Amino acid sequence: MLDVLVIGGGNAALCAALMAREAGASVMLMEASPREWRGGNSQHTRNLRCMHDAPQDVLVDAYPEEEFWQDLLKVTGGNTSESLARLTIRASSTCRPWMRKHGVRFQPSLAGTLHLSRTNAFFMGGGKALVNAYYRSADNLGVQVHYDSPVHALELRDGRFVAASCGNKRIEARSCVLAAGGFESNLEWLRQAWGQNARGEWPADNFLIRGTRFNQGVLLKQMMDEGADIIGDPSQSHCVAIDARAPRYDGGIVTRVDGVSLGVMLNADARRFYDEGEDFWPKRYAIWGRLVAEQRDQIGYCIIDSKAIGRFMPPVFPATTAHSLPELARKLELDESTFVRTLDDFNNACRVGTFDHTVLDDCHTEGLTPAKTHWARPIDAPPFYAYALRPGITFTYLGLKTNEQAAVHFGGVASDNLFVAGEMMAGNVLGKGYTAGVGMSIGTAFGRVAGTEAARAAMRGKGQ
Amino acid sequence: MTELEQLVRSAEQEVSRVMEICNACRYCETYCAVFPAMTRRLAFDDTDAHFLANLCHNCGACLHACQYAPPHEFAVNVPRAMASVRRNTYANYAWPAIFSALYRRNGVALAVATAAGIALFLMLAIALRGPLWIAQPGGNFYAVFPHNTMVAMFGLAFAFAVVGLAIGSARFWRGQSPGAITGAAAAEASRNVLALTYLGGGHGDGCNEQDDRFTLVRRRFHHLTFYGFVLCFASTTVATLYHYAFGWAAPYGLLSAPVVLGTIGGLGLLVGPAGLFWLNVKRHPLQGDPAQKPMDRAFIALLLGTSLSGLGLLALRATPAMATLLALHLGCVMAFFVTMPYSKFAHAVYRTAALLKWAVERRQPNRLRLSSD
């Protein structure tokens, strides 16, 4: 009989498979997607948040455990488990030599991401290169990898894994690691989770999924039905505002529009709805998805003028451009008089001091609601540019409750041969919010734990 | 994008489209010089496309790493987009312009040139000397083709190639001059050319051939080819020096500098191109521009023909086959020389120019302040 069955094909699944194989177990990995789409959301990632006490190859200065923990505490608002968070943090300081051994290569933070040069180790070539390296290593070590193999059901007995069903195949194994992602690709589930708003709209109908189309949450749902302990709010997801022209799935990083703090954001009624200059963009980009989701038609328009060009990461799609504000309003099919009034009001309220996009500067509005508290400069230098934005879902927080052994729990009791890693359990550490690279830290830490524990469970199973 | 739209777009427009996607992503930034050069730009006009395309070494790493590569609807394939523009560079900057047409069916062009070269020397041999199949005591080439005739013919052909490539590269440079060349920039570019830095994949593990595995074989085969070529060239240069400066006439002994250099170089020029040919055949189907395989393979075949006939000539120079082999060898070398500005050889010149451009450009202050920091 097979020792360890790993369900999923992203970073956490691969870490589990490699660790279990290195521990001497026979391992099979079932990836739902075809080979060319393998890797789940990991193919869109780019770095790993790493604790380190001194400069380390691509990482500058230090990022001690306590600071990492405080950052997590802050972004999650305390919605985390300290023991599992600290496990993740400590693992992030020691996992990179192992990652290198399996072919992952690191690079210093990319141009435009210097704010991450201390905290995040970037993967050379990004997450898909990392996934490729792990699959090569898995192949070399003799892990059996199956693509186009979505597991649709698990067979459990008294909280123990017995077998998995894929198509008309039934695969028995001594232990199992679940690492099949969240449910963000499941549009119907998202629709139900977000529900209907007061306007009678189903907001999720206008959502775009930034990552894979294969995270359908099939096993998450089955585990809920089987009575596994659940963590996280099903209506919550990491949601950023991305270019409205992005594809439904897999738009990834390039669909973001980083110009919001340099201009104003309007809704479908051509009115502003939030302080665009509240804080630095990397600290605020993740609130705009939800803000846009709350607007009519779930759409927002980022409006900038020529002063902003060359000051933010170039977006992937060209802007709508116009030589006057009324012309821009017409091109965007927004109410022209409201649009012009909103911009006039904003422009007149701007109190421009010394503009500096690298600090929280003194350019702000006076007597305007909502205010723009930094980087407020009149939008008056043609040509004018606009980007339509929609909510883009990165991942969902709903997951299986787990412990330091990455075990799935039923009624508070840990399963002794069913484990979970990656997005399916990230909510234990990251109950809400996000900070760059922490998803990969969780996936790597718990993938490796789950693989080790699954191999151990399989050895125990053999002994009996 | 529909297939038709893709066909209608120029290769340069495709580079612009792809680079705008890459510029919003940048995950590949440390694989090579293309991506850091890209981040200094917001838009990509034709001269940018030609610069970046020739900076690309076709290592292939960014294709396998790309989250937007086919079957993604963005269909980003940087190595292919760059390869397509490179052929346009060779053609657009070719001098005289009329010969740029040779890039349209470059495999045929090189085959015809080689056949013509061989035919020319076979006919010359017969005209100058009569029967081909006669042993030549001591393997004396000059009994077949007088030294001065050879020097005049090859000197002219080589000078023509040098002028053609010099004019092309000067125009390429002027297309978008990055500023004054400093000693440091020149040294860096030379190192990158001589060491083929960017066939290392940024991490030193090499580049991608059949799949996403990294391997250094291409850099090694290319080194054998390049340094083999350099040694062969050195062999000829030393022999010329012997002839004119010292009055030592060929043929030279087996342990003489020209023969040793030529033999080692010839072996490099045999193994290197053979390896590159094998890699070309085995390459992942999404890599490179399939339409350029005839150009690539014809050039490799011509190199192989040159080294094989040269080594054959050395081995059999005392036999009756000498005159025929000599004509074969000289025909190949002549074809190689005259097609230098109109064959894959041009990549060496434009790649070097692009590397020098980049070495100069990256020392200039970056005018963009793209801050998400």
Single-letter amino acid code for the residue at B52: L
Q: B296 near B346, Cβ under 8 Å?
A: no
Measured over all CA atoms, what is the biggest interatomic distance in chain B, rounded to whole angstroms? Answer: 79
Q: Choose the closest CB to A129 out of B25, B65, B71.
A: B65
CB contact under 8 A, A111 and B26: yes
Pair (B87, B113) in one structural domain:
no
A101 in reach of chain B (CB within 8 A): no
Domain count, chain B: 2
Residue A10: what pLDDT? Answer: 98
Name the residue facing B24 among A113, A281, A313 (closest C-beta): A313
Which residues does chain A have within 8 Å of residue B202's beta carbon, measured at their own beta carbons?
A: 105, 107, 124
Contact status of A125 with chain B (Cβ, < 8 Å) = yes
Q: Are residues B86 and B104 in the same domain?
A: no
Q: At what angle do helices B183-195 and B346-361 cross, to 10 degrees?
A: 140
- Given B25, B73, B202, which is nearest A254 (Cβ)? B25
Same domain, B9 and B120: no
A310 φψ region: left (φ > 0), alpha (ψ -120 to 50), beta (else):
left
Sketch the domain layout of chain A as residue ranges.
Answer: 2-182+217-222+398-463, 240-392
If you write DSSP's letter for every residue of B210-237 in order, what string do you get? SSS-EESHHHHHHHHHHHHHHHHHHHHH
Query: Does A411 touch chain B if contact means CB atoms closer than 8 Å?
Result: no
Q: Which member of A110, A132, A358 has the closest CB to residue B26?
A: A110
Cα–Cα distance between A287 and B233 in angstroms, integer?
65
Q: Looking at residue A461, what is its pLDDT? A: 85
Distance separating alpha carbons of residues B161 and B154, to the nearest angstrom: 10
Q: Per-residue pLDDT for chain A (464 aa), expressed as one digit of tens each?
A: 999 999 999 999 999 999 999 999 999 999 999 999 999 999 999 999 999 999 999 999 999 999 999 999 999 999 999 999 999 999 999 999 999 999 999 998 877 777 889 999 999 999 999 999 999 999 999 999 999 999 999 999 999 999 999 999 999 999 999 999 999 999 999 999 999 999 999 999 999 999 999 999 999 999 999 999 999 988 888 999 999 999 999 999 999 999 999 999 999 999 999 999 999 888 888 899 999 999 999 999 999 999 999 888 888 999 999 999 999 999 999 999 999 999 999 999 999 999 998 899 999 999 999 999 999 999 999 999 999 999 999 999 999 999 999 999 999 999 999 999 999 999 999 998 899 999 999 999 999 999 999 999 999 988 76
Contact list, B368 vs chain A (CB under 8 Å): 310
Boundary-marking domain end, from B52, B70, B91? B91
Residue stretches of chain B with pLDDT short of 70: 1-8, 137, 369-373
Contact A383/B at CB under 8 A:
no
Residue in B26, B64, B67 closest to A112 by CB: B26
Q: What is the pLDDT of residues A265-319, one digit of tens each?
A: 999 999 999 999 999 888 888 899 999 999 999 999 999 999 999 888 888 999 9
At residue A385, the 3 state secondary structure works out as strand
Contact A106, A122 (CB under 8 A): yes
Q: Answer yes or no: pTM beyond 0.90.
A: yes
Instruction: Please tell me the total number of residues recorded for chain A in this structure.
Output: 464
Last residue of a domain, one of B91, B126, B147: B91
In a domain, B269, yes or no: yes
| Residue B107 and residue B216 share a domain | yes
Q: How far is residue A293's CA from residue A274's CA, in Å, rounded to a whole number?
A: 13
> Are A312 and B24 within 8 A, CB to CB?
no
In a domain, B132, yes or no: yes
Q: Tell me the count of A-B CB pairs closer than 8 A.
A: 115
CATH code 3.90.700.10 for A240-392 = yes
Which residues sit opposite A256 in a β-bridge?
A242
Asked if A127 is an interface residue toward chain B (Cβ–Cβ < 8 A), one would say yes
Residues B223 and B107 occupy one common structural domain: yes
Residues B334 and B222 in one domain: yes
Q: Is residue B366 part of a domain?
A: no
Residues B287 and B167 in one domain: yes
Whether B373 is in a domain gets the answer no
Would you state the structure tokens that stand for residue B114, as one six-digit string? 């080689």
- Record the tokens describing residue A58, joined without a space: 């691509």
- Could you list the residue range(s) of the whole structural domain that residue B29 is in? 3-91
pLDDT of residue B8: 58
Question: Using an 8 Å Cβ cutoff, are A442 and A429 in contact?
Answer: yes
Dihedral (CA of B358, B363, B369, B370) sign: positive
CB contact (8 A) between residue B372 and residue A258: yes
| Short-list B41, B3, B29, A151, CA closest to B15 | B41
- CB within 8 Å of A449: residues ≥ 6 apart: A87, A91, A404, A405, A406, A419, A421
Chain A residues close to B29, C-beta within 8 Å? 107, 110-111
| B72 and B186, same domain (yes or no) | no
Measured between CA atoms, how close is B225 to chain A, in angstroms? Answer: 29
End-to-end CA distance of chain A: 14
pLDDT digits (tens, 9 = 90+) for A231-252: 998 888 899 999 999 999 999 9
Cis preceding linkage at A383, omega within 30:
yes
Contacts of A124 in chain B (CB under 8 A): 30-31, 202-203
Phi, psi at residue A152, to the nearest 5°?
Answer: -105, -15
The interface predicted TM-score (ipTM) is 0.94
Flag whether B320 is in a domain: yes
Of B91, B116, B145, the one marking the end of a domain is: B91
Q: Inform me whether the C-beta atom of residue A100 falls under 8 Å from chain B C-beta atoms.
A: no
Considering only alpha carbons, which residue of chain A is nearest residue B29?
A110
Structure tokens given for A253: 């990083």
Give the distance from residue A210's alpha carbon to the nearest chain B alpha carbon, in angstroms: 12
Structural class in CATH, domain A2-182+217-222+398-463 = alpha beta
Do B29 and B71 belong to one domain?
A: yes
Classify burial at B331, counting beta carbons within 10 Å of its beta carbon; exposed 0-12, middle 13-18, buried 19 or more.
Answer: buried
- Side chain identity at residue A121, one-letter code: A
B201 lies in the same domain as B305? yes
Residue A114, chain B, CB below 8 Å: the answer is: yes
Question: Is B35 part of any domain?
Answer: yes
Q: Which of A454, A276, A450, A449 is nearest to A372 (CA)?
A: A276
* Same domain for B78 and B213: no
Q: Which residues make beta-bridge pairs with A230? A: A400
If asked whether residues B49 and B120 sit together in one domain, one would say no
Q: Does A358 touch chain B (CB under 8 A)?
A: yes
